[in-house]
Structure 1
Amino acid sequence: MDHKYVEGDADAPVLLLLHGTGGSPDDLFGLGRELSPKSALLAPAGPVSEHGAPRWFRRLAEGVFDYEDVVARTGQLADFVGMASETYGLTDRRLVAVGFSNGANIAAALTLLRPDVLREAALFASMMPLPAPPALDLAGTRVFLSNGERDAMAPLDSNDQLVASLRDHSAEVTSHRHPGGHQITLDGVEAAKAWLAREWQQVF
């Protein structure tokens, strides 16, 4: 998987940066630095092309996901994280996914399907990626979600389903709402930064 990697402080969490539709590995570097200035940054490129726009998985229409592809691409991302962890010596480091929109959705899927790979995620403008995720024990998993009350692309009812599913499987969830649309807001970033700092010393 094409990606960019920037080394950071060994005591800081590694941030897995997952861009939105049409984005690139460079998109969330600024966000990553704002959230955790000393972190190593691992930013892969979405492997799916939608009319030339990189994505993490296929969709059948706006807001309608190809669920089989979600599962397959989640496995592909999990394999990449494992390979990159070995390549860059990150195996024993704390890993936190940071995703926006489609990137947040694949991070949510990775959290739900592969807790062996990912236990922490900060999701901006996320939706429920799967209709019925497996009943895995997510105790020890932490997820921050920031969504807009006027976001037509990531409706709150879908985000509510994701929050409920995470909590039903024993994940610790912090939900932040802002009055805007499909975007990353300053208050959302500040809330995510505080969330990340609260567990700075804990490694799963």
Structure 2
Amino acid sequence: MKVERKGGSKNVPIFLLLHGTGGNEEDLIPVAREIYSEAAILSPRGKILEDGIAARFFRRLAEGVFDLEDLRFRTNELANFVNNASKTYGFDLQHVIALGYSNGANIASSMLLLRPEVLSAAILFRAMVPFVPNTLPDLSNKYIFMSSGLYDPIIPKQEAERLFSLFKNGGAKVSISWQNSGHELVMEDVKKAKESFYSSSLLSG
């Protein structure tokens, strides 16, 4: 796990960095620093090892097919981790922003649907619907930015749109940006995320 904190303000945004499959806790730090260099960072490594080597945040049965029981367990586990970290490091959950890519974006989406109280906002790169809850939570105080690839071979356009609709129906302030890319993260993702971050109210404290 990686923890970084700049300055003494308790109102600084805290990026919860959630890497993709096979990644680690260092992967998204440059992205976070580009979006907002003064943010604090909380960056865990996924506990699941796929094929014994590739770190993930929850199990999957096949490409795009999730182990829903494990997803729910890991979502609650991660939410509890964030809650405990807020007490350990003295930050307010109202300042926690999930920043996730692929598998990390999917568990962030799951947290928004299952444990929304631990996040104020989310920046989701290449996310898909993790599961559909029986009842949508109230997301009216959540800000969500999605960035998806028009030519993503893993997440079809309609799947990203379905997630967007879920968040919208929950009342979230959600926007989506489409990139001329596949599943890989590109510079335009970071540029659009930064623009969205600064145009939001996330820096108002």
TM-based fold match above 0.5? yes
Q: Flag structure 1 segments of 5+ consecutive residues without an equivalent.
A: none
- Contact kept, 8 Å, 1:150 with 1:180, in 2: the verdict is yes
Q: Are the structure 2 counterparts of residues 93 and 165 from structure 1 closer, same or farther at C-alpha, using a change threshold of 3 Å?
A: closer
Q: 2:197 maps to what in 1?
A: 196
**Structure 2 Cα separation of the partners of residues 134 and 54 of structure 1:** 31
Q: Residues 41, 48 of structure 1: CA spacing in aligned structure 2 closer, same or farther, 3 A cutoff?
A: same
Letter in 2 for 1:119: S
Superposed CA offset, 1:106-130 (max 9, x none): 0111111111111200000111100
Runs of 4+ off more than 4 Å = none
Q: Which position in structure 1 is the counterpart of 2:61? A: 60
> % of aligned pairs identical?
39
Alpha-carbon distance in 2 for matches of 1:71, 1:92: 20
Q: CA, structure 1 residues 176+112, in 2 after alignment: closer, same or farther (shift >3 Å)? A: same
Paired with 1:163 and 1:133, the residues of 2 have a C-alpha distance of 17
1:39 and 2:55 equivalent? no
> Residues 44 and 37 (structure 1 numbering): CA distance in 2 closer, same or farther, change over 3 Å?
same
Shift of 1:83: 1.1
1:134 is aligned to: 135
What TM-score, normalized by structure 2, do the two folds share? 0.93
Instruction: Look up the match of 2:29.
Output: 29
What SS does the aligned partner of 1:135 have?
A: coil
Contact 1:113 1:134 in 2 (8 A): no
Q: CA RMSD in A?
A: 1.4
In structure 2, the gaps of 5 or more residues are none
TM-score, reference length from structure 1: 0.94
1:143-185 per-residue CA deviation (whole Å, 9 max, x = no partner) reads 1000001101122221111101001111111100011101222
Q: How many equivalent pairs are there?
A: 201
The residue type paired with residue 171 of structure 1 is A
Q: For residue 3 of structure 2, what is the amino acid of its counterpart?
A: Y
Residue 98 of structure 1: how far off its partner (Å): 0.3
Post-superposition Cα deviations, 1:42-77, rounded to whole Å, max 9, x if no partner, equal 100101111121101110101111111111110000
Secondary structure of the residue aligned to 1:57 is coil
Given the superposition, is the C-alpha separation of residues 49 and 19 from structure 1 closer, same or farther in structure 2, using an over 3 Å criterion? Answer: same
SS in 2 for 1:176: strand
